[in-house]
Structure 1
Amino acid sequence: MNTEPGSVRPGGRTARVRAAVLRAAGDVLAEQGFAHLDLADVARRAEVGKTTVYRRWGTVTGLVADLLADMAEQSLPRAETGSLLGDLTANARLVRRTLADPRQGALFKAVIAAAACDTRTAEALHRFYEIRVAEWAPCVEQAVERGEAPEGTDAHEVIRAVSAPLYYRLLTTGAPLDEASADRAARAAAAAARAGVFVARG
């Protein structure tokens, strides 16, 4: 039977080993970047057998894929504030907190850089964002039902529009990601959604 890396026997020792290895992998990515991620070094940091890491994850890209899957699973669930702007603001502030965190921000920078030149890492990163966008898309769908946004609004595109300015700021300016930046991104996405910018055409 084929299983995804690290998914065998979700409880007990397997879960503890997976958690330790993924934590160690995240630390290396945050501290040194993708180029310095080495399975043997991760095993040493996690205090598990090197053979276990090679057998379960196989490659560095396999390990990164599992790390991103775990991060998607562990992310906080969406908020339900009762309004489109409230929900999008909650989403923007969550993204900002993640990217402004010294460890998490560095980790995402490393993975994004790796994804630019490694297909499997790019695929894993795309899956991560697909999961997170799908988690938050219902807040836009509910806004459409309440009449806050027009019928046909692409909920996924609205959610992407919230976080896009924050990632752009992180990767291109070096300026701090403050809460004002998050709130501005949410207001812009909400205003565009209400104006019908995200309604699918033709």
Structure 2
Amino acid sequence: MTMARPGGRTARVRAAVVRAVGDALVEHGLAGVDLADVARRAGVGKTTVYRRWGTVAAAVAELVDDMVETSVPRAATGDLESDLRANAELVRSTLADPRQGRLLTALIGAARADERTAAALRRFYDARVREWEPCVAEAVSRGELPAGTDPAEVVRAVSAPLYYRLLTHGELPTEAARDRAVAAALAAARAGVYVV
């Protein structure tokens, strides 16, 4: 159950702190995030930040939860290849974005060191996969993919190669990499690789 977010000053403080946490993560990684610095960056009192979040892990989790809430909804084209390409392009453009790509890389690194961050990041990726699962399920119902195809696995197969190149080689995903990821996931799905 998602709680409604407060409005007014509370919403402004939350937004400023979330942005400041993201900026600090991008610049310094998890080890360099300091709540006093976050308060300064956000233009709010340290007491407010410490009272509301208490720990860096809580503030980072809030950042990730905000990412879940503000993620772009899936495009529904009615064509599996087009839907998967739209998903891959969203991933590619996010990872290639100077701030967002660095932020996600920092969050993935932070998740290795902090279980609360890891749990928040899992919620983010689970929400993103759930958002895109219907395009695969609809393709199964249209007979484009074998019955029993796991929609989540197909969606993950599209984005995994884009993340892999960024995380292992520091290479921003290209449009060619996007297209290869879509073609590979689609071919594997049609061949029944993701049937459970």
TM-score (ref. length: structure 2): 0.95
Cα deviation for residue 9 of structure 1 reads 5.6
1:140 matched to 2:136? The reply is yes
Given that residues 39 and 59 in structure 1 are in contact (C-alpha distance below 8 angstroms), is that contact kept between their aligned partners in structure 2? yes
Structure 2: distance between partners of 1:116 and 1:42: 22
What is the correspondence of 1:20-99 to structure 2 with a 5 Å cutoff? 20-99=16-95
Question: Which residue identity lines up with residue 57 of structure 1 in the other structure?
Answer: W
| RMSD across aligned positions (CA) | 1.4
Given that residues 95 and 172 in structure 2 are in contact (C-alpha distance below 8 angstroms), is that contact kept between their aligned partners in structure 1? no
Cα deviation for residue 175 of structure 1 reads 2.4
Given that residues 84 and 140 in structure 1 are in contact (C-alpha distance below 8 angstroms), is that contact kept between their aligned partners in structure 2? yes
1:118 matched to 2:114? The reply is yes
1:176 matched to 2:165? The reply is no
Which residue of the partner structure matches residue 198 of structure 1?
A: 194
Structure 1: distance between partners of 2:179 and 2:77: 15
Given that residues 115 and 125 in structure 1 are in contact (C-alpha distance below 8 angstroms), is that contact kept between their aligned partners in structure 2? yes
Query: Which of 152, 156, 159 does residue 155 from structure 2 map onto?
Result: 159
Given that residues 165 and 173 in structure 2 are in contact (C-alpha distance below 8 angstroms), is that contact kept between their aligned partners in structure 1? yes
Structure 2: distance between partners of 1:196 and 1:66: 38
Structure 2: distance between partners of 1:159 and 1:124: 20
Given that residues 88 and 159 in structure 2 are in contact (C-alpha distance below 8 angstroms), is that contact kept between their aligned partners in structure 1? yes
TM-score (ref. length: structure 1): 0.93
Structure 2: distance between partners of 1:168 and 1:151: 29
Task: Tell me: CA distance 1:154–1:183, structure 2 relative to 1, closer, same or farther (3 Å).
Answer: same
Given that residues 8 and 14 in structure 1 are in contact (C-alpha distance below 8 angstroms), is that contact kept between their aligned partners in structure 2? no
Cα deviation for residue 8 of structure 1 reads 7.7
Identical counterparts, % of pairs: 68
Given that residues 114 and 121 in structure 1 are in contact (C-alpha distance below 8 angstroms), is that contact kept between their aligned partners in structure 2? yes
The C-alpha deviation readout for 1:62-119, integer Å capped at 9, x for no partner, is 1111101111111110011111111000000000111111111111111111111211
Structure 1: distance between partners of 2:182 and 2:27: 31
2:145 aligns to what SS in structure 1?
coil
Which residue of the partner structure matches residue 99 of structure 2?
A: 103
Structure 2: distance between partners of 1:91 and 1:138: 12
Q: Please, which runs of 5 or more residues in structure 1 have no aligned partner?
A: none
Structure 2: distance between partners of 1:169 and 1:22: 28
In the comparison of the two structures, how many residue pairs are matched?
Answer: 195
Structure 1: distance between partners of 2:64 and 2:125: 9
Structure 2: distance between partners of 1:102 and 1:115: 20
2:27 aligns to what SS in structure 1?
helix
